[in-house]
Structure 1
Amino acid sequence: MGNWFRSVRPWQMVAASRFALAVFALLAIYADPSQPARSSALAYYLLGAYVVYAGALALTTMRVSPGPVVALAVHAIDIAVFSVLIYLTEGPTSPLFVFLTFALFSATLRWSWRGVIATAILIVFIYGLLAMTADIDTGEDVTRTIVRSAYLIVAGILFLYFGAILERERMRYAQLASWPDGPSTDERFPALDQIFAHLSKTANVPRLLVVWEDHYEPHRYVAEFVDGSTRYSMEAAADAETAVAQDSTRSGAASSAQNEISTRILNDHGIRHSVVAPVGGASHSGWLFLVGDHDLGDDLMPLAAIAALRIGAEIEHHHLRQQLVKAAMREGRSRLARDIHDSLLQSLAAIGLQLKALERGVATPERRQIAEIRGSVAEQQNLLRQLVSEARGNDRGRAADTLVEAAVADVLRKMETQWNCRTSLAVSPGGLVASRETVEGLSLFMAEAVANGVRHGGATKFRLDVAESEKALSIRLRDNGSGLPGLSGSLSHKRVFEARLGSASLRRRARDLGAIMHLHSSPEGLEIDLKVPIE
């Protein structure tokens, strides 16, 4: 039934309604011998002709759409016939008064609020003339006339509002269809800046919020539009209990299970009144909030659902672009590996042979030094061969799990020797493993952090704690140095990256690991808290 109504065009509905109304009016007059009051023959003939005319129009509009001139002429004929019929059937107290409401209805569907204004003014004027020329004898008739006059005015206002709402929604969807494109202000996040600005203007809401989680990372991403600008951030995904948010309007596209919004999201972002729609894709799931200072009503629900689909597609495209970038980087590393193998490794091999030949012709003390140099060259050769093998994709154990404790402990021992410092390590639980790529990235991060602590902070002691949390490694590195120059207290991930605080190389390595990094600086030393996703 609903599909049938949606398939009927407005002019077809008007034509069918006109015919039905005319038929029932003729039956009503025929059933009541007291009607019409004036010139009964003329009234019967006119109404009968109007029934035939309405039926012909109904059949014609099923096949042909009336043009604007024809539609205007038909509307004028309707009002003229209605006026005459009301005059012939007791004037302002006529039971056919409902025809005037039909005129307002048809004007709304055809010409929206502009048609309603013109039609309302015209029929109120005609009804006033009929009231002034009618012979109203009783107080009951006077009351009925006054009430009907007020009814016409109120109905006109309501139809005017309805027409304005229809036009507003058409304009909203037309504007929404012209989605803008633009670059993101942060390469780690999808390009939502222009989309948010467009949606805020179209929906007339001051604030927008998208919160989503990547299925492959233990992070919650947040993009918030307020005061004309978009802010992006990352935070740890919490398993907060969920409850239906009070004072919030839910999207009609959301199921009862989806209607459960994390109370932490609502509280953290101060959301009291909003329209909500689920955002989803192959790599992510989350929520779109259209946030207002008061109840936004139900009319924004379809708009929010459409916007959520567009935003979800942009997030998915960003994820795919990142995968393409990673694939391109792997290809670049493969070419670099070939160049290293064909040039640098061959040169190191030649240097090793020359040092071996030189070693035979010198005294014992110098021979020992040359042997140490040759050993260092051989060690670098092995490291480069391993790098070349991995870059070419020949390392079959690349995806295999690696013991975190063994790998990190080896790095810390090397750092102790290289930088003349002391380190300690605690890993929980024992036997903790992660992918080889993650462990190698973490080892490089720790080596860089220790080197920076010694060189720039004057640190001599380092304490590393590694623990496993859900889908992530929680890592804390503390030293006894002087901390970051000019900075004191806790520094959030967002502040560290936006203000570019601390070591640029550590920020890059944290980004490569997909990690959230917080810093705490004080005169007693620097503390680095890292949350690294693991598969």
Structure 2
Amino acid sequence: MGNRFRDVRPWQMVAISRFALSVFALLAIYADPSQPARSSELAYYFLTAYVLYAGALALQTMRVSPGGIAALVVHAVDIAVFSVLIYLTEGPTSPFFVFFTFALFSATLRWSWHGVIATAILIVVIYGVLAATADIEHGEDTTRTILRSAYLIVAGVLFLYFVAILERERLRYARLAAWPAGTTTDERFPDLDPIFAHLSETTNVPRVLVVWEDHYEPHRYIAEFVGGSTRYSMEDAVDAEAVDPAPGKVKSRVRAAPRVGVHNEIPNQILTDHEILHSAMAPFDGASHSGWLFLVGERHLGDDLLPLAAIAALRIGAEIEHHYLRAKLVEAAVREGRSKLARDIHDSLLQSLAAIGLQLKALEQGLSLTESRQVVEIRNSIAEQQNRLRHFVSEARGDDRRHAVDALVEATVAKVLKEMEAQWNCKISQSVYPAGLLARRETAEGLSLFIAEAVANGVRHGGATRFQLDVVASEKALSVALRDNGSGLPGWSGAAPHEIVFGQNLGSASLRRRARDLGAVMNFFSSPDGLDINLTVPLK
């Protein structure tokens, strides 16, 4: 029944309402013929004809909608009939005055604000003429006439306001539907800035906040749009209390409540830390991430923003899911490429190196002692490279059992630093705290590769001869600081935070790639006295 009612078209509703109103008006005259009127009998016949007309029009409208000139003629006939009925039944004090409200209603549904303004002016003029030509007694009749005149004006204004609200919502939905194209990024956070800017402009809300959580990680990610730009951050997802509103609730106060749900509740920490007092909130829930969208205002926001917030939350949630799904696909593609490369190396390069080693061993016979030692050194170097290649092949195939075992950070890094000192003829000092620090082998080896790349770049591009490496572990991350005495970054002086490093592609592309692989935040400080690289690597 509810769906059938919602499927009724506006012109059909007008036709049904016209017929129902005319029938009840006829019954009212028939039930009480003693009402004072200029010509009650004529009014009775006139209204009977109108009932038949309204019924035929309702049946016709169920099949075909009157449009264009026909709709204007029907509307003009309605106003003319209502005016005649009011004239025939007590003039300006007639109970059929309510028919004018129906005329305003039908004009609103048919022609929006143009119809409201034209109809309101017309019926006010008609009612004024009826009042001026009628013989109105002083007292109650005068009061009623004045109030009805004011009622017509106020009703016209209210219908006009109603139309303005509808037009604004239609415009909002149309503008919201024109979402900007999503941009792809290799960063940890999805690029939500164009979506936020579009949403802020559409809803006229100065601040947009999105908070989401990974279902498999104890972290909470935050993207806040204010002042025309978006700031991203990450925090712990553990909360003691939460506010649990119904989905899509407009929040105006921060209230503490016991935590009872999973995804739709709002942790108090979010509301407090981000000073959210007035907002329209909508949750979103995806396959791997869930969170909340807040449209934050300086004062209470109306409920009309709730549908927009719900639609925007779904769109943003989909963008977040797409970002991380794309990252997983890229990772899978890289892993597949590494696996293929590993097979090629194993089947070709390793076999060739093994053959070269055997040939060198055969050459040792008959050589002098000095020449034999040189050949042995070459064979040892080839053997070392074979071991490295076998390790790479094993890792790429995913069958390295050491991959899941923790590694001693100091020993892993020290081995690489020793090789770098010998290779680049430089001096490197290191400090690791606490002693005996363990990390996932993947993290320790990734950090070693990052440091090796940084040292090589410092010597080649900055002319550095000395390096100082400090690694300090906290409960959640490794803080890595590498300083050199080179000439710094070309064309840059001072601090360069993570957003600028990746936004302006500062430094080596390989360093940025290795920092991204580690999931790390990387900052630079460059000066003529050298370059400081600060890396924050999360411990999973």
What is the TM-score with the length of structure 2 in the denominator?
A: 0.82
The aligned counterpart of 1:123 is 123
Matched with 1:337 is 342
Code of the aligned partner of 2:472: D
Q: Is contact 1:408–1:443 with CA below 8 Å preserved after alignment?
A: no
Match of 2:155 in 1: 155
Q: Deviations over 1:189-221 (max 9, x none)?
A: 545455444434433444434333333555544
Q: How does 1:15-414 map to 2 (within 5 A)?
A: 15-184=15-184, 189-190=189-190, 192-217=192-217, 220-225=220-225, 230-231=229-230, 233-240=232-239, 243-244=242-243, 250=249, 260-262=265-267, 265-266=270-271, 271-365=276-370, 367-391=372-396, 393=397, 395=399, 397=401, 401-405=404-408, 409-414=411-416
Query: In the aligned structure 1, how far is the partner of 2:400 from the partner of 2:513?
Result: 27
Alignment partner, residue 424 of structure 2? none
Q: Please point out which of 529, 535, 538 is paired with 1:532.
A: 538
Pick one of 473, 476, 479 that aligns with 2:479: 476
Task: State whether residues 402 and 439 of structure 1, in contact with CA within 8 Å, keep that contact through their aligned partners in structure 2.
Answer: no
Deviation at 1:230, TM superposition (A): 4.9
Alpha-carbon distance in 2 for matches of 1:421, 1:191: 38
Q: Deviations over 1:176-196 (max 9, x none)?
A: 334342534776554545544
How far is 1:288 from its partner?
Answer: 2.4
The answer to which of 352-361 and 93-102 deviates more is 352-361
1:337-374 residue CA offsets vs partner (Å, 9 max, x unmatched): 34434553344334423433444444445544542332
Q: Bigger shift: 285-294 or 306-315?
A: 285-294
Matched, 1:515 2:520: yes
Rounded to whole Å, the distance in 2 between the matches of 1:259 and 1:123 is: 51
Partner SS, residue 118 of structure 1: helix
CA distance in 2, matches of 1:485, 1:382: 35
Larger relative contact order (CA 8 Å, sep ≥ 6) = 1
Deviations 1:97-123 (A, max 9, x none): 111111111111122211111111111
Indicate the SS of the match to 1:300: helix
Structure 2 CA distance, aligned partners of 1:58 and 1:151?
A: 29
Cα 1:449–1:218, aligned 2, differ >3 Å: closer, same or farther?
A: farther
Q: How far apart are residue 95 of structure 1 and its match?
A: 1.5
1:476 partner amino acid:
S
Question: Over aligned residue pairs, what C-alpha RMSD do you find?
Answer: 3.8
The Cα of 1:325 is off from its aligned counterpart by 2.0
Does the aligned pair in 1 maintain the 2:431–2:470 contact within 8 Å? yes
Residue identity matched to 1:532: P
Q: Is the 8 A contact 1:513 1:533 kept in 2?
A: no
Residue identity (%):
66
- Equivalent residue for 1:415, pick from 417, 433, 439: 417
Report how far residue 131 of structure 1 moved. 0.5
Q: Which residue of 1 aligns with 2:254?
A: none
Task: Report deviation, 1:507.
Answer: 2.5
Distance 1:451 1:515, change over 3 A: same
Stretches of structure 2 lacking an aligned partner (at least 5 in a row): 252-258, 422-426
1:446 Cα deviation (Å)? 4.3
Q: AA paired with 2:406? A: L
Distance 1:301 1:317, change over 3 A: same
| SS of residue paired to 2:478 | strand
